[in-house]
Amino acid sequence: MAKKMALGIDVGSVTTKLVFIDENDEVLEGLYIRTKGNPIITIKHGMVEAYETLKKNYGEIEIIAVGTTGSGRQLAGVVVGADMVKNEISAHAYAATREVPDVSTIFEIGGQDSKIIFIRNGAIVDFAMNTVCAAGTGSFLDHQAERIGIPIEEFGDYSLRAKNPVRIAGRCTVFAESDMIHKQQMGATSEDIIAGLSESLVRNYLNNLARGKELLPTFVFQGGVSENIGIVKAFERTVGHEVIVPKNNKIMGAWGVAMLAKREIEITGKTTNFKGFKITEVKHDTRVFYCDGCANNCEIYEVIENGETLAYWGDRCGRWSNKITSKVSSHATQAKSNTK
Amino acid sequence: MKIGIPRGLYFYVYYPMWYGFFESLGHDMVLSVPTNKTILNLGVSNAVDDICISVKVYHGHVKYLLDKKDVDYVFVPRVVSEDKYKYTCSKLAAMPDLIKSVFSKDADRILSVNMYMNQGRKPLFDAFGEIGRKLGASVKNVKKAVKEAVIYQEKATNCLRNGHNFIEVVRNIRNLDDLLDKPVKERQYKVALAGFPYDIYDSYMNGDVIKRLEEADVRVVVTDMLNPKVYKKYTKYMIKDLFWHQANVAAKGGMYYMDSPDIDGVITISSFNCGIGAIYEKLLDLYSKETGKPLMHIVVDEQTGDAGLVTRIEAFIDLIRVKKGDGLVAS
Amino acid sequence: MRRKATYIFPRMGYSYAAFESFFQILGYDVITPDPSNSQTLKRGVSNSPEGMCFPFKILLGQFMKVLEENPDKYFKIVSLESYGPCRFGYYSPLYSKILKDRGLNNFEIVNVEGIYPPWYKGIPRFFKKLIKLVGWHAPWTGIRAFVIAGWKVYAIEELERKLYHLIPREKITGSTEKAFKRAFERIHHAPNKVRAVKKILAEELERMDSVEHVEDLDLPKIGLVGEAYMLMDYSNNLEIEKKLAYMGVDVDRSLWVTNWTLDRIIRAKKHLNHMSEVNKGYLDFFIGGDGQESVMNTILYKQKGFDGVIQVQPFGCLPETAAKQILSKVSKDYDIPVLSLSFDEQTGEAGFITRLEAFVDMIKERKLSKSGTREKKSTAVVSH
């Protein structure tokens, strides 16, 4: 009998995450790939790669549910045929509460997004996302790593060796950079600078997102940046408490949405929309154009599969998006089926 | 009793009055320290993100005083208007509410009252009367104290009119008469600063612009030194008066200085995210196009790096030198 | 030389249809600027002071586009403004200065200012400006224009309310919107007679009601508070109401043209008293704009049993920023989630939708856990 699995895809701004889970929600295979340009190609590559390994380990595979999340969730959803398209805040929170049931505060720092999620009794009670600036995100570190010529992977070790972390001022990446260069010119060591950068990132993150909010343990820290032990330590120093990095820290969003999709299928008893692994061989194109229907001049996005349009979005009036008969039932029918 | 006075916002305008009042009633005043890194951090971590940096700094000063256990009250007045039909901005009008919303545990240690300035004695008696009652002073003493307060403020105004800046006024608050007679040192160049007093005089936040200019042999004048009568005529250029008193002072004062032949250049100082700054800066921009007077904007924000600021001030002075036909000097 | 002028009236949501009628009744040509799009925003942002509020930039861009595209016409830009803590009060002098600085001279600004002290100057000024706006007409023409425009505004708002009520309840996605569009166009082009507007409104409301839907659904309720222009103009708030409605939420907006006008002008005193009573201890002073309304309406929404509140504000808005800080305390004290969204030209749709969705998920979850029916049946998110 084929092994039953659910798939979760998290298409972020910098990386794409794929997770396959079994019927007990355990992760069978997790991939963490840099999104190089085209997210569709990245997803396909990931799926081919995962398929090979899974097939080797488990033989026949049956995908029973698919969920997508992240900033590219809509695109990924139409391409693979998702049962659930969920925002990343809910997905991350779901996974974190599964892993650490008594979590109260989730720090999540990814490539260009950072979030803080407050949980009480297993439910989200508040959240915040970074608004305009990247000073509290992974790209801040990437940028500075490039600037001082030390690979980002070694940042953690460097900052642990620091004796006197320097204070890097500036809440904006550009200003922080000039201040960092200034400190370098004054003769600070790389260790102290990197430790200073870690502290600065945590300070910026908390100032941006957690202002005036109550930070209660248990703390969970996830997302790509949680790999960096220096940042973890900086968080622990700032909140004065242990900060847990869960075992699937880099792929929590994808894992969360895989579980959500599986649950959705179990509850509704529907069969999955998944189009099968064959989609990796199908040609997909995307196109952006300006609608000239009215003065709004909406930017329209079009996804084309084998010359056939899969989806439009971006229009305000529905001129384009209504062309594709919606497969998703409206809210009334959904809400109704839920209340039954 | 010990009254804490935050060194921010209207401290830089009405401190002499407050000093006179509390002094006359025999209360000790505790000033918060001049803005420093700690104060700034306290402010930034407590005030809401999008608010202007001056208000954030003020939160820091208030918090600093609230943390001092021996301070009985922290004086957070709501300055409503500063002239007839000239008011203050939304954030300042909501100041006690903003402060109480963040430091709600200490709400009863906030001494707050609505102040209507420069509209005769009656509003002052009302406002200070209310404070006096809270502090348990007799009506007679309050009346005496208000009179004292007004005298202090008048003296301070005279000092400003004579060309002394407000920092000197604060430093010499006990002997303002001496300050009044003290001559002002003239220098080679003269530059006017236009903006809100709390941005111009907070030397930590603006990278000590006054001192830096004076080091370059520049005499600094500020828009608050002007008698409002001299710039009344600029309302016509502005089409209508601005609602905010200090913005009118900055805009019209700046225009007056641009038209004054002895002023070599004008620098505006505003705080990051100050909404009103955007308006008077634009007006001065347009006016400087007409007069050709050098104009520079300095926006104060949370950055500590004043390397950039020094460069800009030096470049501005070089510009003035070239305009006057003087040679450049290596700094 | 006197040239024939075309009026430009700022666009705000769907209400533009009513204001067009107003000028048409008076016998003037009128142009409604395009809703915000990349071209108007580019113009507005690059010509405004950076720290100026977003609505100023939006409107400047819209006016500029019209002026640039019609160099041979002469325009009267209508600006309704006041004198208050909000920067709105100084829009028109800046428009006039900036547009002239850009070399555009084919306009004049008709600013109708509210009455503000000193009274002996304020009242005559108001009437002078009003006459400048309306022109010399028989008084009854002017009154008729006001009455009909008022009715059209009311009719459009009734239709909008119906739209947001039906969207989460409809059976076929998009069917209500289709009905609304038709209804709106009919009101827009309705003959300028009160009876005709009334009749069309009644017909169209009935027609919208006949859209197939499920009436008795207990949906989560979200109230919208914030700055009036951003709340009312769908082209700038990224259609937040419609998006929420499609997410299965009963959405209610606190400010409409009708209640805004009534509260500010006709029953101002009652409104202010009510506000100071509700806001006591949170915001005890007049701060202009819609800041006090935001605080008041959040409290009122809680009392009316709403599950959450979203504050919509333009980036850097003076009164709303003050309100935002106070709202965080209100939210804590009254136990109602408040999400503050600030909009500017850089607001990305993706992040915006993520925030909305997460907020809605959170509200749904809270609602379920309160009603004690938090079973496996929910589609809400976290439930361990």
Q: Residue C266 contacts by C-beta under 8 Å, 6 or more apart in sequence?
A: none
Residue A340, pLDDT > 50, answer: no
Rounded Cα distance between A101 and C321, Å, is 36
Encode pLDDT of C46-77 as tens digits: 899 888 889 999 999 999 999 999 999 999 99
| Same domain, yes or no: A82 and A114 | no
Q: Mean pLDDT over residues A327-333, rounded?
A: 39
B309 touches A: beta carbon within 8 Å: no
Which residues in chain A have Cβ-Cβ distances shorter than 8 Å to B46? 211-212
| Chain A: residue whose CA lies nearest to B303 | A170
Q: Residue C151 and residue C192: Cα distance in Å, rounded?
A: 10
Determine the average pLDDT of the residues in C108-130.
82
Quick one: tokens of C50?
A: 């950076």
| pLDDT score for C212 | 92
Range name among A145-149, B112-116, B276-280, C239-243 with the lowest pLDDT average: A145-149
CA distance B166 to B172: 10
Mutate to test the interface with C, among B46, B82, B90, B112 (most CBs of C within 10 A): B90
> Under an 8 A CB cutoff, do B304 and A169 touch?
yes
Least CB–CB distance from B97: residue in C98, C117, C285: C285
Same domain for B197 and B101, yes or no, is no
Distance between C379 CA and the closest CA of chain B, angstroms: 34
> Residue A237 burial (CB < 10 Å; 0-12/13-18/19+)?
middle
Are residues B191 and B117 part of one domain? Answer: no
Cα separations in angstroms, A174 against A133, A141, C23: 10, 12, 50
Q: What element of type H or E holds B92? A: helix B90-93
Across the interface, whether the CB atoms of C361 and A87 are under 8 A apart is answered: yes
Kindly state the average pLDDT of the residues A237-246: 92
What confidence score (pLDDT) does residue A301 get?
82
In this structure, is residue B176 part of a structural domain?
Answer: no
- The answer to whether B29 contacts chain A (CB < 8 Å) is no
Name the C residues in 125-184 with CB < 8 Å from any A CB: 167-174, 177, 181
**Chain A residue with minimal CA distance to B48?**
A211
pLDDT of residue C111: 84
Q: Do A175 and B305 touch (CB under 8 A)?
A: yes
Residues in chain C with CB shorter than 8 Å from the CB of A260 are: 381
| Residue among A171, A182, A208 whose CB faces B307 most closely | A182
C313-333 tens-digit pLDDT? 998 888 999 999 999 899 989
| Same domain? B205 vs B115 | no
Residue partners of A27: CB distance under 8 A and separation at least 6: A19, A20, A21, A248, A251, A255
The answer to whether the predicted template modeling score (pTM) of the entire model surpasses 0.90 is no
Q: Which runs of consecutive H residues, i.e. helices, occur in B162-235?
A: 166-171, 176-181, 197-200, 209-215
User: What average pLDDT does range B224-241 have in this prediction?
Assistant: 92
Task: For residues A112-131, give the mean pLDDT.
Answer: 83
Helix (H, G, I), strand (E, B) or coil at A289: strand
> Does C253 map to a domain?
yes
A275/A295 same-domain check: no
C-beta atoms of C96 and B239 within 8 A: yes
Torsion over CA of B30, B32, B38 and B43, rounded to 10 degrees? 120
* Mean pLDDT on C212-220: 91
Whether residues B13 and B82 fall in one domain: yes
Q: What integer pLDDT is reported at residue B171 of this predicted model?
A: 93
Answer with the one of C84, C102, C136 that is the final residue of a domain.
C136
Distance CA(C279)–CA(C330), nearest Å, equals 10
Residue A160 located in a structural domain: yes
Q: Which of A245, A264, A295 is the last residue of a domain?
A: A245
Strands C250-253 and C107-113: unpaired
- Across the interface, of C39, C346, C377, the residue whose CB is closest to A267 is C377
Q: Identify the pLDDT of residue C375.
A: 42
> Is C270's pLDDT higher than 70?
yes
Residue with the bigger pLDDT between A331 and B253: it is B253
Identify whether residues A292 and A203 lie together within a single domain: no
Q: Region A315-325: what's the mean pLDDT?
A: 70
Residues B111 and B164 in one domain: yes
HSE of C267, CA atoms in CB hemisphere, 13 A: 10
Q: Residue C383's pLDDT band (boundaries 50, 70, 90)?
A: very low
Cβ pair B50:C53 closer than 8 A: no
Chain-chain contact of B98 with C322 (C-beta, under 8 angstroms): yes
Task: Give the domain-ending residue among B169, B196, B218.
Answer: B169
Of B88, B275, B289, the CB nearest to C316: B275
Q: Closest-CA residue in chain A for B304?
A: A169
Q: Which of A245, A266, A297 is the last residue of a domain?
A: A245
One domain, residues A10 and A35: yes
For residues C226-243, one letter each, b for 16 or more C-beta atoms within 10 angstroms of the residue's C-beta and e for the rest, the string is bbbbbbbbbbbbbebbbb
For residue C117, the model assigns a pLDDT of 75
B141, B25 contact by CB (below 8 A): yes
Chains that touch C (3 or more CB pairs under 8 A): A, B
B209 and B165 part of one domain: no
Give all strands (DSSP E) within B235-317, no chain letters: 265-271, 295-300
* B91 CB-near residues (< 8 Å, 6+ apart): B51, B52, B55, B98, C287, C318, C321, C322
Q: Please tell me whether residues B134 and B218 are part of one structural domain.
A: no
Residue C211: its pLDDT value, please? 92
Distance CA C366, CA C335 (A): 11
What's the CATH number where B194 sits?
3.40.50.11900
Name every chain C residue with its beta carbon within 8 A of the beta carbon of A330: 170-173
pLDDT band, residue A171 (cuts 50/70/90) = low
The whole domain housing A15 covers 3-91+252-280
Determine the Cα–Cα distance for residues A116 and A236; give it in Å rounded to an integer.
Answer: 15
Angle in degrees, CA B85, B88, B91, rounded to 5? 145
Q: Are residues B157 and B284 in the same domain?
A: no
Residues B270 and B315 in one domain: yes
Query: Is the per-residue pLDDT at B269 higher than 90?
Result: yes
Residue C154 lies in a domain: no
Q: Do C35 and A296 touch (CB under 8 A)?
A: yes
Rounded to an integer, the average pLDDT of C93-113 is 90
Structural domain that includes position C47? 33-136
Count of domains observed in chain B: 2
Q: Residue A70 pLDDT more than 70?
A: yes
Task: Name chain A's partners: 3 or more CB pairs within 8 A.
Answer: B, C
d(CA C256, CA C272): 17
B286 neighbors C101 (Cβ within 8 angstroms):
yes
Residue-wise pLDDT tens digits, B291-304:
989 999 988 877 65
Nearest Cα of chain B lies from the Cα of C139 at a distance, in angstroms, of 29
Q: Look at chain C and report how many structural domains it folds into.
A: 2
Mean predicted confidence (pLDDT) in B195-222: 91
Matching residue, tokens 């909008």: C160
Give C194-248 as a DSSP string.
Answer: HHHHHHHHHHHHHHHHTSSB-------EEEEEE-HHHHH-TTTTTTHHHHHHHTT
Give contacts of C367 with chain A, Cβ < 8 Å: none
Looking at the partner chain, which of A94, A326, A335 has a beta carbon nearest the beta carbon of C381?
A94
Q: How far is it, in rounded angstroms, from Cα B74 to Cα B5? A: 6
First and final CA of chain B: distance in angstroms?
A: 50
In a domain, C313, yes or no: yes
Determine the residue of chain C that is closest to A333 in CA distance.
Answer: C171
Q: Compute the CA torsion angle C258, C260, C264, C270 (nearest 10 deg).
A: 90
The string of pLDDT tens digits covering residues B151-194 is 999 999 999 999 999 999 999 999 899 999 989 888 999 999 99
What single DSSP character describes residue B244?
A: B
Beta strands A15-21 and A84-85: pairing type?
unpaired
The burial of A266, by beta-carbon neighbours within 10 Å (0-12 exposed, 13-18 middle, 19 or more buried), is given as middle
Question: Span B198-217, mean pLDDT?
Answer: 90
Contact residues, chain C, for B273 at CB < 8 Å: 51, 316
Alpha-carbon gap, residue B183 to A15, rounded angstroms:
67
Question: Residue C171: which of A87, A121, A333 has the nearest Cβ?
Answer: A333
In this structure, are B197 and B133 located in the same domain? no
Residues 322-381 of C with CB under 8 A from A: 328, 337, 342, 346, 349-351, 353-355, 357-359, 361-362, 365-366, 369, 376-379, 381
Q: Has residue A96 been placed in a domain?
A: no
Residues C291-317, mean pLDDT to the nearest whole number? 93
**Distance from C-alpha of C115 to C-alpha of C101, rounded to nearest angstrom:** 30
How confident is residue A169, by pLDDT bands cut at 50, 70 and 90? low
Give the residue among C231, C95, C252 at the shortest CA–CA distance from C164: C252
The C residues from 238 to 257 touching A (CB cutoff 8 Å) are 239, 246-248
Q: pLDDT at position C379, please?
A: 37
Residue C53 covered by a domain: yes
What is the pLDDT, as a whole number, of residue C140? Answer: 85
**And the tokens for B171?**
């430093």
Statement to judge: residues B92 and B216 lie in one domain: no
CATH number at residue A124: 3.30.420.40
Q: Does B304 sit within 8 Å of A171, measured CB to CB?
A: no
**B264 shares a domain with B197:** yes
* Of residues A169, A182, A208, nearest to B49 (C-beta): A208
- Total domains present in chain A: 3
* Cα distance between residue A75 and residue A73, in whole Å: 6
| Interface contact flag, A211 B307, Cβ < 8 Å | no
CB contact under 8 A, C358 and A212: no
C186, part of any domain = no
pLDDT for A136 beyond 80: no
State the ipTM, two decimals. 0.88
Give B302's contacts in chain A (Cβ within 8 Å): 169-171
Tell me, yes or no, whether B235 lies in a domain. Answer: yes
Contacts of B98 in chain C (CB under 8 A): 322, 325-326
Q: Quick check: is A290 in a domain?
A: yes
Please say which residue of B140, B169, B198 terminates a domain: B169
Q: Do residues B50 and C321 lie in contact, with contact meaning Cβ atoms separated by under 8 Å?
A: yes
Q: Is A222 a residue whose pLDDT tops 70?
A: yes
Contacts of B130 in chain C (CB under 8 A): none
Angstroms from C268 CA to nearest CA on chain B: 19
Most confident range (mean pLDDT) of B155-159, C282-286, C354-358 is B155-159
Please return the burial class of B142, using the count of CB atoms within 10 Å of its CB with bins 0-12, 13-18 and 19+.
buried
* CB atoms A124 and C382 under 8 Å: yes
Sign of CA dihedral C232, C237, C238, C241: negative
Is residue C350 domain-resident?
yes
**What is the domain extent for residue B233?**
185-324
Contact B90 C94 (CB under 8 A): no
Note whether A151 contacts B: Cβ–Cβ < 8 A. Answer: no
Q: What's residue C376's pLDDT?
A: 38
Nearest to B303 among A169, A211, A212 (CB): A169
Distance from the Cα of A231 to chain B's closest Cα (Å) equals 20
Indicate whether C366 pLDDT > 70: yes
**pLDDT-above-90 percentage for chain A:** 24
Nearest-CB residue to C288 (from B78, B90, B274): B90
Q: What is the CATH number of the domain that holds C352?
A: 3.40.50.11900
Q: What percent of chain C has pLDDT over 90?
A: 54
Which residues between 96 and 115 in chain B have a beta carbon less than 8 angstroms from any beta carbon of chain A? 102
Residue ending a domain, choose from C136, C151, C177: C136
The DSSP code for C265 is I
Mean pLDDT of chain C: 88
For chains A and B, count residue pairs whose Cβ atoms are closer than 8 Å: 28
Mean local confidence (pLDDT), C107-130: 83
CATH classification at residue A299: 2.20.25
Which segment of A289-293, A327-331, B130-134 scores lowest on mean pLDDT? A327-331
Strands of the sheet with B28-31, listed across from one edge: B28-31, B2-5, B73-75, B110-111
Across the interface, whether the CB atoms of C328 and B47 are under 8 A apart is answered no
